[in-house]
Homo-oligomer: A and B are copies of this chain.
């Protein structure tokens, strides 16, 4: 325990915050020393302040931590932010200004000029932008849950064959909306063909993530994206129907091969949260499926299937990822591991 790095979780009582607590409670490198949340919770033991609804029982030590304010006087210098977007922007800036390293799941700083928007397997080199940030600390952001699985799937295709345009239709899990999220009366025996703000994120984020650093700036990848987002009655796991026009015309088999062979830096570094296979390709006609495959690689692997020729684009396929693990808390923790391994968290 001694050598673990102390970390704090902001927004610890919310849905993403709880997932941080669950995933970090037995982490080999990090140890949650502080939890912070809104005024309503401050001063209470975490167990009492939170309406714990994770599958695993709440860690007994974390349960007893007293909830602190989300103010930059915490002892831990490494901050996981699960704050709601309504307040995340300002609070995270305050922490960064005060020397803290903030790894955030909120959308607010994702498009700040020098803030990396990172999927560790995809664009680890973007972390170099941190050196240009004007804060004494730093902010690093995790993409939106529907972006991450998709962009991970795009990476080997983008690198090997080039992408001209991308069309995506999502079927997203209810946990993507946080807790309490969508009322049961709105989603049982139903699909809602709209998720506020989601399509815009999905049409922008992949371009930054797949961008290239030139002259200390990210040059966004240049391809068009069209996204349509739907909410479906599934607990966890975002499924996305993807169509791609490629720069280099290749067979589906060639695309499958680069997907199957893909490994990223986290795999090379053997980061604790990195799945052995970031991408798992299925040949079965009816795979991947959210309930069956969302937990592969402890929720960190992305599952792909049905890759075939498309008459309007070049190829089409289905991609699945666990939205609260790979797509939120797990992805953020993997960023923190990468930061540590690359010396951004001190020695």
Contacts and interface: CB of A to CB of B under 8 A. Distances in A.
Contacts of A174: 184-185, 188
Contact of A234 (B55, B191, B226, B313): B191
Interface stretch (A32-40, A100-108, A131-139, A286-294): A286-294
A63 B175 CA distance: 33
A224 B53 contact: no
Residue of A196, A305, A310 most packed against chain B (CB within 10 A): A310
A289 B171 contact: no
A185 B235 contact: yes
Contact of A290 (B180, B189, B292, B305): B189
30 contacts: A55-B291, A55-B292, A165-B312, A167-B167, A167-B243, A171-B230, A171-B232, A174-B184, A179-B185, A181-B185, A182-B183, A183-B183, A184-B233, A185-B235, A187-B188, A188-B188, A188-B234, A189-B235, A189-B291, A190-B290, A190-B292, A193-B289, A193-B305, A194-B286, A203-B311, A224-B311, A225-B311, A228-B316, A228-B318, A233-B234
Interface in A302-322: 305-306, 310-313, 316, 318
A318 B179 contact: no
Interface string A279-303: 0000001111111100100000000
A247 to B, nearest CB: 16
Given A184-B184, A184-B233, A193 B288 contact: yes
A74 interface: no
Contacts of A295: 55
Interface in A133-178: 165, 167, 169, 171, 174-175
A85 interface: no
A190 B224 contact: no
A171 B191 contact: yes
Contacts of A180: 180, 183, 185-186
Contacts of A224: 311-312
A251 to B, nearest CB: 18
Interface in A204-256: 224-226, 228, 230, 232-235, 239, 241, 243
Given A185-B179, A243-B167, A318 B234 contact: no
Contacts of A306: 193-194
A249 to B, nearest CB: 17
A269 interface: no
Contacts of A87: none
Contact of A226 (B53, B191, B291, B312): B312
A311 B196 CA distance: 19
A150 to B, nearest CB: 14
B235 A233 contact: no
A192 B311 contact: no
Contact of A190 (B291, B310, B318): B291
A167 to B, nearest CB: 6
Contacts of A185: 53, 174-175, 179-181, 235
Residue of A187, A191, A241 most packed against chain B (CB within 10 A): A191
A289 B235 CA distance: 15
A306 B243 CA distance: 21
Contacts of A226: 243, 310-313, 316
